[in-house]
Amino acid sequence: MKQRLVPTQVKNAKPADKQYKLTDGGGMYLLVRPDGAKYWRYDYRFQGRRKTLALGVFPEVTLAAARQSRNEARDLLVRGQDPAEERRAQKSAPDGSDSFEAVAREWFARQEHGWASNHSTKIIRRLERDIFPWIGDRRIGDIRAPEVLRALRRIEQRGAIETAHRAKQNCGQVFRYAIATGRADRDPSADLRGALPPSIPKSFASVKDPAAVGALLRAIDGYEGSFITRCALQLAPMLFVRPGELRHAQWPDFDLDGAEWRIPAERMKSRQPHIVPLAAQALTVLQELQPLTQRGRYLFPGVRSASRPMSENTVNAALRRMGYSSQEMTGHGFRSMASTLLNEQGWNRDAIERQLAHAERDSVRAAYNYAEYLVERRKMMQAWADYLDSLKRGADVVPIRGSSAS
């Protein structure tokens, strides 16, 4: 089939006294009205009758998108289905329970109880912003791979390649749920393998040079913003938990006498409980913070409401205020700082990984071994805090070596 139109022709088409057509081939054309409106149309024959299908309005629907809709309509004709009747049937569905959005929200409601709150929030926002506007009202069993790809391309075009891949993964989960519940026959997202550019993993910016770490710690101690934020900044390098775990920290989970913080499974990315031994220096920060916030639930309550934790941007914003760009240091970067330096110092790699709460591949083993290496981890966390103190003083010190280095 010869495609005669090019995008510039469509864009530059001027209105005339009477409406006219610009033919693209294969039954599709652009109808240009005297008022300047431009409508995509597709003429076809079904059971001997000539019919016309509206494909959208330019520029909301591009030439490429109109062609894709035309091709999908042709596919329906090959299968003996009338594209216009299929569209009417979709619009007249009684309750929309088979639409992509309805199925996706049902899937999400069944899954979110097993996710950390910040993870579930990201998933539903991603679907609402990037997927529902384009295929949300489509009957899920009728959606084809090109439709999903068009939605993903919009994400790709704004440079969010990793988000596009994650959205594709979420779509696949929704389609597989639809198959399991009898509302779809297959997962069209599986046909998109290789259709998106590869996502290049980005490491979180982090300060790792010991002298630079010392300078960062001194800057944190001199932070002139909120006292609560300064406490969070002081604990971040000592505890090196994930930023979400730190800002959601709750007083009932802390045993200051026993010098440990036990994070429940529902607030961990791995969905397993986690123990954070508290060095003497961490206890000092917590004891200073305690009178200010212990009446509430959170160690670091939000500015507008004590019933919610501090914003996810608070620590990063404080780092920017201190002069560290997003390419130099992030809240998540305290984890890679600790991992790099502790490994260099010879601490047991398994103990470091357990303290970082990296997901255990064997979920059964993980459920019973969250306290693994705890004796060594207590020693490591105190030695780490002592080492940070030495760097903060600017001392030229040899760090305490871990047991695996001896």
Query: Which of the residues are catalytic?
Result: 242, 269, 332, 335, 358, 368
Q: Angle at Cα 28 formed by Cα 1 and Cα 98, nearest 5°?
A: 105
Give, in degrees to the nearest 5, the angle at Cα 383 between 245 and 227.
Answer: 45
The single-letter code of the amino acid at 129 is R
Task: Name the residue among 200, 236, 240 with its Cα closest to residue 219.
Answer: 236
Tell me 265's DSSP state.
G
Q: What burial class does residue 290 get, using C-beta atoms within 10 Å of its C-beta: 0-12 exposed, 13-18 middle, 19+ buried? A: middle
| CA distances, 11 to each of 14, 27, 69, 204, 207 (Å) | 9, 20, 19, 43, 50
| CB distance 348 to 373 below 8 Å | yes
Length of the chain: 406
Angle, helices 100-111 vs 161-180, to 10°: value is 90
User: What DSSP element (H or E) covers 152?
Assistant: helix 145-157
Burial environment of residue 3 by CB neighbours within 10 A (0 to 12, 13 to 18, 19 or more): exposed
Query: Residues 384, 389, 394, CA angle at the centre, nearest 5°?
Result: 125
- Strands laid side by side in the 274-277 sheet: 254-255, 260-263, 274-277
Helix orientation angle between 314-321 and 227-239, rounded to the nearest 10 degrees: 100
Separation CA 234–CA 217 (nearest Å) = 8
